[in-house]
Amino acid sequence: MNKHRKSQIIKTAVKRFARHGLNKTTLEEIAGDLRIGKATIYNYFNSKEELFYESLIWDSKLIINDIANIFSNEDDSFENKFIQYFNYKITLLENYKLIYDLMILLFQDITQERESDILKNMLNEEEKLLQAALNKELKKIKKSVGIKSVRNIVLTSWGLIFSNQLNMIKEEGKVLRLDEIALNMFNNL
């Protein structure tokens, strides 16, 4: 099978699912966007649901890669990387709406088990990345950070996305200063 074609189908499906959701998206529309036949999609995926789950996995991997890139930048101080990590989360609504919407569904307790597993895997990978980055930095001062602290940081960073949305409504467009929150968390490790 052609991996490039499969990637094209997933990328197109991500956009379509993010705009219209699983129930209002058809394989015909995805095929039409790609100018291929619907049968071609079935060469790669057994169903629309399978393509949807693969789209979620695709986006979650992109998020993990973005976070890895933030922490692997050797030209930046760790404090700046930590701030970038928090500020990056604000872009998820714009850049990864499919995952953002899945988080909303999780809060409403209407996710499927497979969707929850995809989120759980993404969060676990994020924790591993963050723990490695933090321990590398804290090793310089002979400290380390445990998984519970890392989990709190990861969950807080996700929670700030929604807190920022609520604050913009309450404070009429005022954005939370995530850099200040990030620095405060970092300094309290």
Residue 120, pLDDT score:
93
Tell me, yes or no, whether 71 and 144 share the same domain: yes
Residue 137, pLDDT score:
85
CA 182 to chain centre: 18
Higher pLDDT, 146 or 47: 47
Higher pLDDT, 3 or 140: 3
Tell me, yes or no, whether 32 and 122 share the same domain: no
Say whether pLDDT at 32 is over 90.
yes
Residue 99, pLDDT score:
93
Tell me, yes or no, whether 100 and 130 share the same domain: yes
Q: What is the pTM of this model?
A: 0.86
Residue 57, pLDDT score:
97
Residue 156, pLDDT score:
85
Say whether pLDDT at 175 is over 70.
no
Looking up residue 20, the CATH number of its domain turns out to be 1.10.10.60
> Residue range 19-48: average pLDDT?
96
Q: DSSP string of 32-95?
A: HHHTS-HHHHHTT-SSHHHHHHHHHHHHHHHHHHHHHHHHH-TTS-HHHHHHHHHHHHHTHHHH
DSSP state of 173: S
**CA proximity to 45, closest of 33, 61, 31, 65:** 31
Parent domain of 21: 1-45
CA 171 to chain centre: 26
| Mean pLDDT, the chain, integer | 88
Overall number of domains in the chain: 2
